[in-house]
Structure 1
Amino acid sequence: MFPADFDYERATSVDEAMDLLDDHADAEVEILAGGHSLVPAMKTEGRSPDVVVDLDVPALDAINALDDRTVVGALTTYADIADSRALRANAPLLAETAAEVGDLQIRNRGTIGGNLAEAHPGADPPAAVLASDATILLRHRDGKREVPATEFFRGDGETAVEYGELVTGVRVPHTGDAGVAYAKKTHPATGYAMVGAAAVVEVAEEAVSRARVAATGAVDRAVRLPSVEDALVGERLDSEAIDAAASEAHADIDSERLRSDPYASGEFRGELLETYVARALESAAERVAGNPPTA
């Protein structure tokens, strides 16, 4: 199947992209980053924009490590994120999650900005940016805007991005000695997460001082799991505490919200949710500085 006719524009700078969005304000415009989501949707799902703006902006393909955070440009590929020494040293959850995206071809072409803007309910990076307390960076004609990851994802394909805005990057706080992990049940054909869980766990004096846990694939968007987080704080990070905390995942997600599709029922996803939250926490526990692996 071939896509419907559309006009093609190419932007080589953020300012040029802003100009093109202004020029086509009355048209349906899609932004082309890596293209691994948009192009198939145009070919097989009937997505038919009037204009496609292709981003070819070198400034957005960069990873910049600062004192306490790293900024990842929107056009940075999953492969570059996964291989980044700066991220693996300072914010490893995003790097390790990027390594789990799709297959090699997708990782070499797909971009973090495109993934976040697409907001697929089974995408991997949204869970990582949520658990990392990351901030999504946006640009519009009149300036810049920053949106916490917790406020960015609104639903299946829906985000806080407004018309005329462009995702330019994501700012990820450094996680220090925290234990981090991402675990997922992978759909064998699409590579998306049927259910995935990301965790960042900090321990002080042998007890959890802070925890951030997020899930993807279970409902129509990636979400934080505050009940799981609260259940961990103050507890020793052992198997008993992990199992008890993972069982709280259902307190944050109403069973009626669980996704059902041809690949898995909502009930099955609910069962996977607790399992993969526990797996992420177990892996994070093994990596907490000075904390032995859980039994």
Structure 2
Amino acid sequence: MSPVSSPALPAAARPARAVPGGRRRRDPDLRRGVLGVLVFLGGAELVGRAEVIDPKVLPLASAVLARAAGLAADGAFLAHVGATLLAWAAGLALTVAVAVPLGLLIGSVPPVETAVRPFVEFLRPIPSVAVIPLAMVLFPGKLELKLVVIAFGAVWPVLINTVYGLREVDPVAKQTLRAFGFGPLSVLGRVSLPSTAPFIATGVRVASGIALILAISVELMAGGQSGIGVYVLEAGSSEDGIEMIIAATVWAGLLGLAFDLLFTRAERRLFRWNVGRTGGAA
């Protein structure tokens, strides 16, 4: 289960200068992260050059990076990437469309939570990859198959974060609105949903990585005409198969990193008051 953000806090509770301070604190982390990647690549290159591992078994890091750079200009590979991204985006949108309303319902109506919790706790531990064979039978269309598997695996962080976010809403704020005659839907829209939004955003960020993993996993297991997973399957039979497979995997990792950075930046811009309260933590 993904980590949950801190409870919502009004914007006026923290000065705006807390955000730049958090940004300064993140700079050393970024430099250390880049340094760690460079050290890893340098170590892998040295191990390969020393022939500790046969380059035919594990290609040199420099060769893999060169191959990955070449894929950026390969129209066929980019078409595969586009197919994966289409499934990722559609699957993530379906996940949010299902998980957020369901989470709001479960978190707002205690009897519903009591009735639904056994099903949630039963389904949540099931590995998403395990449902792919069954989904292949029920949904023969490749895009439909990806959407169903992505939604099944990625729904949980969004759903659970939404439910827990509702629990952290200030009860005084809700009682105040009720005292002024506002109904349940007005309280939900004016207080509960805005306060829960940072929790939902964190869940969506976690779900985006899960969605990418599952999109590629479905392509690897079910095949198809396009997708990064399909490219990996096809590359396995070529002469430079291992190098091409690892290069494609590098691109999958870069896409996951890019999505995480994109969603993190969006969180900080949309919820500056929450970033300020948590000291700039993502």
Give TM-score, length-normalised by structure 1.
Answer: 0.19
Q: Which has the higher strand share?
A: 1
Q: Which has the larger radius of gyration?
A: 2
TM-score calculated relative to the size of structure 2:
0.19
> Which protein has the bigger helix share?
2
